[in-house]
Amino acid sequence: MNKIGNDFINGTKCPDYSTVDLVLRVPEPPHELPIRKGQTVIKLPSPKRFKLPDLPVRKAIEDWEPVGFFSRSTMDLKQLSYLLWCTQGFKKIVAETIEIRNIPSSGSRNPLETYFVASDVEGLETGLYRYLPKSHSIVAERIDTDLTMEISTASLNFKLTTRAAITFIWVAVPYRTVWAVGNRGYRSALIEAGHACQNMILAAAGLGFGVAPIDLFHDDLIVKLANLDPETQWPVYLAAVGNEGKSVSL
């Protein structure tokens, strides 16, 4: 175990920038995974028109506790739109290759893709979807009523994900950042998943939802569920979102 940690830290130290693919003029990787032929794209409501009550950041932080139990939960498309925008949405495009989003990103490379299993979202069939930040849309990856049970098994968190309205899956595409900053980009992808989840916790609090971050999950089952390329696309963090039930022992 110790060797794995040391190898990772030593292998991802600050790079010699003269050796990175950006400087070597290797073509830039795309900022977003492509939409496959025949996929259904769904435009989301504008998050800027979404009204919600003011909630002080201090209260959101002080009120958060580990979630032990969700009651049966549902959310609507406006709420989903707001959560996606807060965690990976665009603030502005500075230049053709520089995008400023709502979480920090090393070199503005944004190596995360946001997938989610919608178990009970008004207006969406039960299934797996992916967020498209550039157009603030989602694309249906797989419509399947069995997905709630699949994500529950893969997340090793049956009692939460079966009752959650939605379970988010942040998938790292590390080469987007590695292209610009070398092996340091592998650290960045993991750190940015933490930024996304923290924004999710704060944004969801304003909607009255609880968030259960899940960092212990069955990697291979998530890869299979989301049809990922295990060589280039890595699931790094999950979060179940729903209505908190009565407190139970963890």
pLDDT tens track for 97-143: 677 888 999 988 999 999 999 999 999 999 999 999 999 999 999 99
Evaluate whether 214 touches 239 at the Cβ level (below 8 Å): yes
Domain presence at residue 204: yes
The string of pLDDT tens digits covering residues 135-148 is 999 999 999 999 99
Domain presence at residue 210: yes
Please determine, for residue 248, whether its predicted confidence score (pLDDT) is greater than 60. Answer: no
Domain presence at residue 187: yes
pLDDT of residue 82: 96
**Of 53 and 121, the one with more pLDDT:** 121
pLDDT of residue 199: 96
Closest CA to 239 of 209, 249, 61: 209
Domain presence at residue 61: yes
Please determine, for residue 48, whether its predicted confidence score (pLDDT) is greater than 90. Answer: no
Residues spanned by the domain of 77:
2-33+42-47+55-242
Evaluate whether 71 touches 163 at the Cβ level (below 8 Å): yes
CATH number of the domain where residue 165 is located:
3.40.109.10
Domain presence at residue 16: yes
Domain presence at residue 96: yes
Domain presence at residue 238: yes
Q: Which of 3-17, 54-68, 227-241 has the highest mean pLDDT?
A: 227-241
Domain count, the chain: 1
SS3 174: coil
Domain presence at residue 193: yes
pLDDT of residue 215: 96
The string of pLDDT tens digits covering residues 1-17 is 579 999 999 999 998 88
Side-chain half-sphere CA neighbours of 192 within 13 A: 30
Please determine, for residue 245, whether its predicted confidence score (pLDDT) is greater than 80. Answer: no
